[in-house]
Structure formats: structure tokens, C-alpha cells
Chain A
Amino acid sequence: MKRQQPAQIKGLKKWLDPVYSAWTSIATHKLRSSLTILGIVIGIAAVIALMSIGRGAQAQILSRIQGLGADLLGIRPGMTMAGGIRGGFGSASTLTLEDAEAIKEQVPYIAALAPTFSSYQQLVAGNQNMNAQVIGTAPEYMFLYNLEIADGDFFTDYDYQRGSRVAVLGANVKQTLFGDEPPVGQQMRIGGNIVRVVGVLKAKGAVWASPDDAVIIPLTAMQQMVTQPRTSRGERVVTSIALKVTDQNQIEFVTQQITDLLRSRHRLAPGADNDFNITSVQSTVEALKEATGTMTLFLSAVAAISLLVGGIGVMNIMLVSVLERTREIGILKALGARERDIWGQFLTESAFLTLTGGIIGVVVGCGVSVLLSRFKVMTTLLSADIIVLAVVVSLGVGLFFGFYPAWNASRLDPIEALRYE
């Protein structure tokens, strides 16, 4: 008499049946269910939008820095301790030109090295003037930072040897001082000194270590223009030393060699802190990754709070729903429903609510993220893992916050439930 159904259809029905009955009870209270779902939509959309903003910022910063190359090392003076107040990196005068020469001579695997001494100076060309950073360095500087020339040339080794008064302008400096005039061959003043412009750099637009707003001149010329401080041992202080290694794999070795050399040159006692600081692009990338990762985490935490509020809303509604349907639960139990049938039904219902909210939230969140980057408000980066995570989390929220109400429902005494008005 009974019709035989294929096994797959039976299996499918077993899954769809609870979903369908969850749907019918949710559909009974359309407004209430929609508002509950809205809470989850907002939470999930916030998670997606904020995470994509965090990831976007991270990707943007990293791509700019990594353009510098992983084989670059920078050495800066260490922190000063003045009356117990830390001065921050770069504020001490412990790194010298003599250090740079010693490193160049004694440390292996160095492809190029450039000491720099920089200071802010008044620049004047024609009737234009501005204040900008003047970097005194060696010709290798161009190679170290992958600088490109838009016009003219970088200064040469010969200029460096002789201390020629020549200057290479950053793109923004050129624009301010010369406008659209070709500056190469023109004269300008740095402080009280006349220099000749030999080249202009291409704009880099980078946020970090950007030469766009600087003027680069030979360090030897710089020494004639501004008084370079000297250490107690009479060595000439520099602001930083940049160098490139011949083999990326030797970065750690080179770092160690430089550390040993500088410690002995600076006569640091064993156990004393370094009075200099060596950073590689790699370590900067790591640090920034950590910083932007923290930012992303913070943004996610903000979003998670709104999701938590949504989840509490779901729990609230499910508790109300269990109370309202006490009699229904009693009836189902009288018909032979086991505790786990009841439990499963209510859990399916709350998971249905949050999963629906999650899927709508993914669409809304992706939409917001795409619009933000389309209208150039912010760089955002969407990836599949965020979306999968959001969907899984929304399901998890339903299961987590539905657990207690469902458990409550399943534990009701059938007789008392049937008597409930």
C-alpha cells in the first residue's frame, strides 16, 4: 500500500523537512522575524565592510613599501636617554661618517652604501621659496632607493669627490620652485649657498621614505653649507646609513656583522643596549603588517560587537517564541516528539534566521565595500575567506544563541506544556 520512495529523495526530505517547518513558523511572524534578521544583517555587513577596509589599507601600505626591495638595510642612531625620557629612534648623534666608511670596508656582501645627513633648509629659486628637507648623501643613494630621473641626471661620483654644489630636486619641490619651467641648469639657493640644478626625480607618490618633497645634494657639498655636528671623538655625525646587500639571504649575517662592528667602534660595554638601530624593509613590512593586522582586528572587534547585539536579539526572540509555543511543544511531545526533535526544530529556526541574515549581510557588506572603493573613499579588499567566514559565523551565532532557548523548549514537561494557556 505504501509507495516506495527512492533513498535520495527520502534523505533530502529528511533535511528539508525541518527547514520547511522552521520557515512556516518564522513566516508566521513576518515583521518580528525581519527585524531580528536585520540585526544580523547589520552585524555581518559591518564585519565584511570593516574587514575589507582593514585588509585594503594593509595591502596598500605593503605594496608601497615592498617596492623598495627586500635587500635594503637602514641604520639609524639609537634612542637617547635624557633624564629618563626616551627620545625615540634617530634622535641621538651616535652614527658617523667614519662608521659608514668602516662598514663599507669591513663588512662583506655589501652592494652599495650611502650615508646621509639631512636637515631642513630654506630653498629659493627666482621669486619662489619654500622650506624642505635637504639630503646630503652619496651617488649610490639613487641606486639604493630605485630612484628614477625625470629630467637631467643624478649627481656623479666626481661631484661627490669634489663637493660640487649641485642638486637633484624631488618632484614636488621642482613643481613649487620652478612650476613648469625646465629647472636643469638653473641656479637656486639652499640657505645662503648657490647650487646648480642637475636633475629632477620622477614622482614616487609613496607615503614612506618619499623623496618627492626633498632636495638631494652630495654629502661633501652639504658639509660646506651647514655645520655637521661632531661626536666627542671628533667623528662627523650622519642622520642615517642606507645599504643594499648583494645576497638577500645574507641579510641576517650582514646585520650581525654591522652590529658587532658598530658596538666595538662605539665602545659599548657587553650587555649595554645598542646605540643604533638596523632595520630591513622586511622587518618594516613585518612591523607594519602587525600594526595593520591589529587595526583589522580592532575593526573586526567593533563589527563583532554589533553581531553580538544581533545574536542577543535572536536569543530574545527565540525565548519569546518558545514561551508562545509552549502548548505547541506539549502537543508535539504528546504526538511522540523526543527532546532532540524539539531541540532540533528550534535550533533550525534560529540558524535559519541568522543564516538568512548572514547571506543578506554578505551581499550588503560586499556592496558597501565595492562602493567605497569605486568612489575612492577608501581602498578595500574583499576576499573569499572573509565571505566564507561571515557565513559560517552567522550560522554559528544562530546555533550559539539558539542553543539555550531550544534546550529550554526541549526540557518542557509535556503535561504542563499542554496545560499552558
Chain B
Amino acid sequence: MIKLQQITKTYTLGKRELQVLKGIDLSVEQGELVAIMGPSGSGKTTLLNIIGCLDRPTSGSYHLDGKEVSSLSSAELAAIRAKKVGFVFQTFNLLPRLSALANVELGLKYAGIDDRDLAVEALRRVGLADRANHRPTELSGGEQQRVAIARALVKRPPVILADEPTGNLDSKSGEEILSLLTELHQEQGITLVMITHDPDVARRCQRIIRLKDGLVVSEERT
């Protein structure tokens, strides 16, 4: 499903060049549940953004679902994000002026699917059917993250990418979110890649990939 070969990423800050990823080789099979760990600044988010086609690598090749995507145009990348990738962020990233349902519908909009019932169904799946008309400010952090998950999964993408999805939550709602994600992974056979700092969370994944200074330092199966 995901196949990275010698991926590098260099940021240019003025005249200084900063190589954040220094040659990553990584494969993720379809339906796998993978955790990415590593110290702060090791390049986890940068890697996830490249996997999610939000960013382009500086060099290396990347095949997503069998297609080389490392050199596509921004419009082509947008189309891939719209159909194949669902993002879940640490900070939820809901649109504050839209209701929970409208936020979930946004997940369908750019995938070109026009079916409100799917959005209602996704909200029900994350247990928020009765909160459809609430705005994000009227929801708890855990509930907001559920809406974000519903938004990511509503278009049934093959890949869901989560960047510290429990990072802003207390341990109880973090646990609930984690259970929800693992359940969805099992139910729907989604490929799920998740960044986490929490070893307990990582242990529940099938594989743990550790990054340090832009390189994969270890891979272990749990």
C-alpha cells in the first residue's frame, strides 16, 4: 500500500539547509496498523505529511497504492488526498463555524461524493449521532476528535494517517479514541499509520517504527 524508498526532505531556511529526512525506506502493507515513534524533531510529522501527499519529498520515490506520487502536481496530489487519505490531527482541526455534521460532510465534498446519509452514518459510528448539530466549541476534546475521525473515514479512504491523535486528550478519552481507531481498523481493513509518544499506545499496533534524526533506527513487531 505504502512504499517509500530513500525519501529525503530538506528545508531551506534562508541560506541554511536543514535535512529533516535523510533517506527513509519504509513499506506498509494494506490493512496494517503501524505506529511511528521518536523524539521530538526527529521528522515524524514531516514523514507523515509526505505519506499523506500533503508535501513532496526532496528526493526518493514513493508509491501509494501502486502509483508513483513523489513528482505529481499539486492538483494531482489534492485529488489523491481527496480520495485515498484521511487525516486525523492532534489539534482536531475542525472548522469552528460549522456543525459536527457539516464538518463530516466536508470530508465527502472534495471526494466528489454527495450523500448526506453517509455523513450521518459516520457520526453514528463514532457515537455522536445525537450531537450532529453541535458546533466544535460545544463539544469536548474527545468528542471533537471523534468528529475528526468521522470526517476522515466518511469517504472510506484506504489509508488513515493520525498525528498524535490522543496527544491533546486526557488518558480516559485518549483511551476511547484509541479503541475507536483500532476497532475501525479491524472492521474496515483500513491501513492506519499513527504517530505517538505513548509506548502503551504503540504496543497496541502491529509494528513500531522508530525514527531518530531523520532516519529509521529500528522496526519491531509486537
Contact = CB atoms under 8 A, between A and B. Distances in A.
Contact of A332 (B54, B74, B97, B110): B110
Interface string B188-216: 00000000000000000000000000000
Nearest to B152: A335
Contact of B87 (A3, A28, A334, A337): A334
- Interface size range on A against B: 20 to 34
B184 interface: no
Residue of A334, A414, A418 contacting most chain B CB atoms (<10 Å):
A334
A2 B93 contact: no
Interface in A384-421: 414-415, 418
Contact of A338 (B75, B118, B151): B75
Contacts of A330: 93
Interface in B92-118: 93-95, 97-98, 106-107, 109-111, 114-115, 117-118
Given A5-B114, A415-B49, A334 B81 contact: yes
Given A331-B95, A334-B93, A415-B55, 15 more contacts: A2-B117, A3-B117, A13-B114, A17-B109, A25-B97, A332-B110, A334-B54, A334-B81, A334-B87, A336-B78, A336-B111, A415-B54, A418-B54, A418-B89, A418-B93
Contacts of A327: 93
A10 interface: yes
A3 B85 CA distance: 24
Given A3-B117, A415-B49, A336 B97 contact: no
B206 to A, nearest CB: 25
Interface in A314-355: 327-328, 330-339, 341
Interface string B49-76: 1001011000000000000000000110
A203 to B, nearest CB: 68
Interface of B: 49, 52, 54-55, 74-75, 78-83, 85, 87, 89, 93-95, 97-98, 106-107, 109-111, 114-115, 117-118, 151
B64 to A, nearest CB: 14
Contact of B81 (A3, A13, A25, A335): A335
A176 interface: no
A335 B98 contact: no
10 contacts: A10-B114, A25-B97, A327-B93, A333-B54, A333-B78, A334-B54, A335-B82, A336-B83, A337-B78, A338-B74
A178 B155 CA distance: 96
Contacts of B81: 333-336
Contacts of B79: 336, 338
A156 B97 CA distance: 88
Nearest to A17: B109
Residue of A336, A337, A341, A415 contacting most chain B CB atoms (<10 Å):
A336
A24 interface: yes
Residue of B79, B81, B83 contacting most chain A CB atoms (<10 Å):
B81
Contacts of B87: 334-335
B97 A24 contact: yes
Nearest to B49: A415
A335 to B, nearest CB: 5
A341 B79 CA distance: 12
A342 to B, nearest CB: 10
A138 to B, nearest CB: 83
B110 A337 contact: yes
B101 to A, nearest CB: 13
A339 B75 contact: yes
B115 A2 contact: yes
Top 10 A-B pairs, shortest CB-CB distance: A336-B82, A336-B110, A336-B81, A338-B78, A331-B93, A334-B87, A28-B97, A337-B110, A414-B54, A338-B75
